[in-house]
C-alpha cells in the first residue's frame, strides 16, 4: 500500500505518508542508523514503481477513510528507501498538488541532487528536507555507506544549485552518531556548507528508533548542545529533533493494513501501537498474527518495544 497515516511529525504537523517504493527497500545508501534495516542492494537507477495516476488514486482512497481530526497538514514522500529513485516523482508531485491542494513535502537523502532532472522535479515540492550528515569524504562514507556510483563533491554541488533555485521551504537534516560524525572538523565543515544554503531550518537528529547497526549510539546531550551552538554561530536557524513525535496516528479501520503500511517506513513504538489499536478497535492478536506470519518483527531500543516491517522473508 502506498498511503499511510497521517502520523505526527515533529516538523510537519500531521503528515500523510506516501511510500512510493513499497515492495522492497530501494536506496542509494545503507546508513548505519537506518531505522528500516540494512539496504540489501544499493541502487542509483531511477525506475518506475507505480503509474502516477494509480498512486494518486491510492492516496485518494486512503484520504477518504480519514476522520476530520486527522486531516493532514502535508502529503509527504517518505519511502521505503530513497523517494527520488522513483522516475515518476515529478509527475506525482504535480498530480497530488492539483488533486488535494495540500502542500507536498519530500524527505530525500540528497544522493541524486547531482542529477538536473531530480532537482527540477523537487523544485515543485512545497517543503524539501536534504540529508547532509557530513561533507567530509571519509565520515560521509562511514555513516551513509553510499552506492559506489555516487560522488560526494557532485552531490554537494547539486545541493548548492538547488538551494539557489528553490522557492519553497528548504531544510537540512543531520543525524548525529557518536564517534562517527560528531568530531569538531566534521561539524565545522558541515555547518559551514549548510550556512551557504539559506535554509529555513537545519535539523539535528539522533537515532531514536532501532538502528541498522546495533552498536551505534546517539551523541550525548552535551555534544548535541555544542553542535547546535556551532550551527547557530554560523547564522543557521537550528533545531534539535530529539523528542518523541507523539502517538496520534491516523487510522482507516483496517488495523492489519495500517500497521503494515506504517511499519514499512517508520517503526511503531509500543505506546503508539497501543493507541492505534484502540482507535481501530482491534487487539494485540492482530500484532501477534503479523509477527507469527513474519510480516513484522519486534525490536527493543532505549526502554521501548518497536514494531518494524520484516522485508527479509
Ligand atoms: S536512512 Fe534513508 S537514506 Fe539511509 S539507508 Fe535508510 S532509507 Fe536510505
Residue 123 has a pLDDT of 98
Q: How far is the CA of 68 from the centre of ligand 1 (A)?
A: 32
**Average pLDDT, 10 consecutive residues per value, the chain (313 residues):** 84 92 87 90 94 95 85 92 96 97 97 98 98 98 97 98 98 95 95 97 86 82 82 91 63 79 76 86 86 82 78 52
Task: Single out the residue of 235, 214, 224 nearest to residue 182, CA to CA.
Answer: 224
CATH number of the CATH domain containing 68:
3.20.20.70
Q: How far is the CA of 145 from the centre of ligand 1 (A)?
A: 10
As a whole number of Å, the CA-based R_g of the chain is 19
Provide the strand spans (E) within the chain.
3-9, 13-18, 74-77, 104-108, 127-131, 169-175, 201-205, 238-241, 268-269, 296-301, 304-309
For residue 107, tell me if it sits in a domain: yes
Helix (H, G, I), strand (E, B) or coil at 76: strand
Find the DSSP H helices in 13-122.
52-64, 89-100, 116-122
Residue 267 has a pLDDT of 72
**Cα 56 from Cα 88, distance rounded (Å):** 12
15 forms beta bridges with 7, 74
For residue 84, tell me if it sits in a domain: yes
Q: How far is the CA of 219 from the centre of ligand 1 (A)?
A: 19
For residue 248, tell me if it sits in a domain: no
Domain that holds residue 91: 3-241
For residue 267, tell me if it sits in a domain: no
Residue 246 has a pLDDT of 59
Task: Point out the ligand 1 atom lying closest to the alpha carbon of residue 28.
Answer: 8
Overall number of domains in the chain: 1
Q: CB of 260 within 8 A of CB of 296?
A: yes
**Cα 228 from Cα 222, distance rounded (Å):** 10
For residue 212, tell me if it sits in a domain: yes
pTM over 0.75: yes
Helix (H, G, I), strand (E, B) or coil at 1: coil
Residue 313 has a pLDDT of 44
301 forms beta bridges with 304
74 lines ligand 1 (CB under 6 A): no
140 lines ligand 1 (CB under 6 A): no
Residue 257 has a pLDDT of 80
Q: CB of 85 within 8 A of CB of 113?
A: no
For residue 282, tell me if it sits in a domain: no
For residue 304, tell me if it sits in a domain: no
Polymer length of the chain: 313
- DSSP run (H or E) holding 7: strand 3-9
For residue 55, tell me if it sits in a domain: yes
Amino acid at each position: 500500500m502506498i498511503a499511510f497515516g497521517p502520523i505526527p511529525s515533529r516538523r510537519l504537523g500531521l503528515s500523510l505518508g506516501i511510500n512510493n517504493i513499497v515492495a522492497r527497500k530501494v536506496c542509494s545508501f545503507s546508513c548505519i542508523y537506518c531505522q528500516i534495516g540494512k539496504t540489501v542492494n544499493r541502487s542509483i537507477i531511477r525506475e518506475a514503481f507505480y503509474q502516477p495516476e494509480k498512486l494518486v488514486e491510492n492516496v485518494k482512497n486512503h484520504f477518504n477513510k480519514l476522520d476530520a481530526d486527522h486531516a493532514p497538514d502535508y502529503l509527504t514522500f517518505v519511502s521505503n528507501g530513497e523517494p527520488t529513485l522513483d522516475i515518476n516523482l515529478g509527475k506525482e508531485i504535480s498530480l497530488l498538488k492539483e488533486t488535494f491542494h495540500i502542500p507536498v513535502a519530500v524527505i530525500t537523502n540528497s544522493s541524486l541532487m547531482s542529477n538536473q532532472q531530480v532537482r527540477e522535479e523537487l523544485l515543485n515540492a512545497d517543503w524539501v528536507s536534504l540529508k547532509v550528515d557530513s561533507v567530509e569524504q571519509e565520515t560521509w562514507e562511514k555513516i551513509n555507506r553510499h552506492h559506489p556510483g555516487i560522488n560526494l563533491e557532485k552531490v554537494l554541488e547539486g545541493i548548492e544549485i538547488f538551494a539557489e533555485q528553490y522557492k519553497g521551504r528548504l531544510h537540512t537534516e543531520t543525524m548525529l552518531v557518536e564517534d562517527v560524525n560528531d568530531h569538531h572538523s566534521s561539524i565545522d565543515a558541515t555547518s559551514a556548507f549548510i550556512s551557504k544554503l539559506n535554509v529555513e531550518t537545519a535539523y539535528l537528529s539522533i537515532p531514536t528508533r532501532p538502528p541498522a547497526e546495533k552498536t551505534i549510539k546517539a551523541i550525548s546531550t552535551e555534544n548535541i548542545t555544542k553542535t547546535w551552538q556551532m550551527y547557530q554561530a554560523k547564522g543557521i536557524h537550528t533545531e534539535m529533533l530529539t523528542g518523541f513525535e507523539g502517538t496520534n496516528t491516523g487510522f482507516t479501520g483496517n488495523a492489519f493494513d495500517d500497521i503494515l503500511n506504517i511499519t514499512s517506513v517508520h517503526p511503531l513504538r509500543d505506546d503508539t501501537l497501543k493507541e492505534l489499536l484502540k482507535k481501530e478497535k482491534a487487539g494485540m492478536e492482530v500484532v501477534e498474527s503479523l509477527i507469527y506470519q513474519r510480516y513484522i518483527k519486534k525490536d527493543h531500543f532505549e526502554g521501548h518495544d518497536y514494531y518494524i516491517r520484516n522485508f527479509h522473508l
